[in-house]
Amino acid sequence: MYTQDELRDIASKFVIYGDFLVAVPFGSGHINDTYQLTYDQGGVRLHYTMQRINHAVFHHPEQVMENMDRVTRHLLNKIHAERIETKKRTLRLLRTYTNQPCVQDHRGNYWRAYVFVENARSYDVLENPKQAYMAAQAFGDFQCNLVDLPGPRLHETIPNFHNTPKRVEALEAAIKSDKAGRARQVRHEIDFIMKRREETEKLLKLNAEGSIPERITHNDTKVNNILIDDLTGEGICVIDLDTVMPGLALYDFGDMVRAGTSAAEEDEVNLEKVGMRFEMYEALFRGFLSSAGGFLTPAERENLPFAGKLITLETAIRFLTDYLEGDVYFKTRRPHHNLDRCRNQLKIVESIESQMNEMKKLLKQA
């Protein structure tokens, strides 16, 4: 934990006018530590976001920042071009007094800061189909806007991030070493996953064959990584850009389905509340097609229903692996938190499987 004095000291490295008042922990992300800063700027109170980058997860923070800098500048140019009729925003990174996009503190941690997007918020659970439509449309727009990003290929900030077969291998290794002595409790979950192992290769095979292209994707499109405007309900700002890198469009759609269709939070233990709500799927599907439909290949379109299942299964695998490794990756707040999350995700996989025919029917009609 950082004290207010330490946080004030770190904040003082960024070019922010006015007097620091307070830093408050913010949001429910599993990876970075996020604070909302409040400044007094000549009698007006303004907010900023300041984040510690988790460098146990992102081994090259400078590469993360280089990607983010390029992507946000490009998006800002696009938004400026259409500013008159839109409220759309992009994350705006602050620079330090030495003109760097991040700063290292006395403990060796890396920090960055953004302009805080006011009058908008992120939701852990979407409330209605309109929000789902708007969120998916914004993530589709995000992909669309990055099609012409100039310069070299973005850094892979986490190599093989959505390589699901490799995630299965990591699970097997975790079962074998059983560091936390938990493998015996999770036989059922392991069996469920291993039965579906072959399917985890499907999208990578299509990519290798050339029917699904590599694109610049967000790769972490869970619904609390988009800010929804309080007034209009529009998805106005895509955030959490650490994993923006080369990927498949279907990973982004899949993660929206995983995180945006259930009526309950990701760690809900009453599994009766957990599952894919079809009306939310339909809204995500229509919202995504409204912005991304123009560039998706036939093979990408055809696999939209499968993508949700794949990424939900992959996320279950990752939670289970972390559980077996002793909770070293995702933030946890209780002893079996990762196992609860894994079971929750597997329930969503089952729910998606049971509605696959309707999902395919919707695709045919679109």
The item of ligand ADP, ligand GN1, Mg ion, none sharing an interface with residue 280, based on CB under 5 to 8 Å by kind, is: none
267 contacts ligand GN1 (rule: CB under 6 A):
no
Q: Is position 31 an interface residue for ligand GN1 (rule: CB under 6 A)?
A: yes
Q: Which of 221, 256, 214 is nearest to 241 (CA)?
A: 221
Under rule CB under 5 A, residue 240 binds Mg ion = yes
Site residues for ligand ADP, window 30-69 (CB under 6 A)?
31-32, 34, 49
Nearest residue to 282 via CA among 80, 133, 95? 133
Q: Which of 116, 278, 295, 330 binds ligand ADP (CB under 6 A)?
A: 116
Which residue pairs from 69-78 have beta carbons closer than 8 angstroms and sit at least 24 positions apart in sequence? 69/93, 69/101, 70/149, 70/151, 70/154, 71/146, 71/149, 71/154, 71/216, 71/241, 71/244, 72/241, 74/145, 74/146, 74/149, 74/150, 75/142, 75/145, 75/146, 78/145
Beta carbons within 10 angstroms of residue 41's beta carbon: 11
| Residue 263 or 362 with smaller CB distance to ligand GN1 | 263
Residue 44 CB, nearest approach to ligand ADP (Å): 17
Tokens in use for 236?
Answer: 């106005």
Is 91 a residue that touches ligand ADP (CB under 6 A)?
A: yes
Q: Which does 266 bind (CB under 5 to 8 A by kind): ligand GN1, ligand ADP, Mg ion, none?
A: ligand GN1
Site for ligand ADP, residues 191 to 250, rule: CB under 6 A: 224-225, 227, 239-240
Helix (H), strand (E) at residue 11: helix 4-11
The three-state secondary structure class of 299 is helix
Residue 48 near residue 111 (C-beta atoms within 8 A): no
State which residue, 16 or 120, has the beta carbon closest to ligand GN1: 120
One-letter amino acid of 264: A
Q: Tell me how far, at minimum, the Cβ of 299 lies from ligand GN1, in Å.
A: 24
Cβ nearer to ligand GN1, comparing 31 with 249: 31
Chain positions contacting ligand ADP, by CB under 6 A: 26-27, 29, 31-32, 34, 49, 91, 114, 116-117, 122, 224-225, 227, 239-240
Chain positions contacting Mg ion, by CB under 5 A: 29, 225, 240
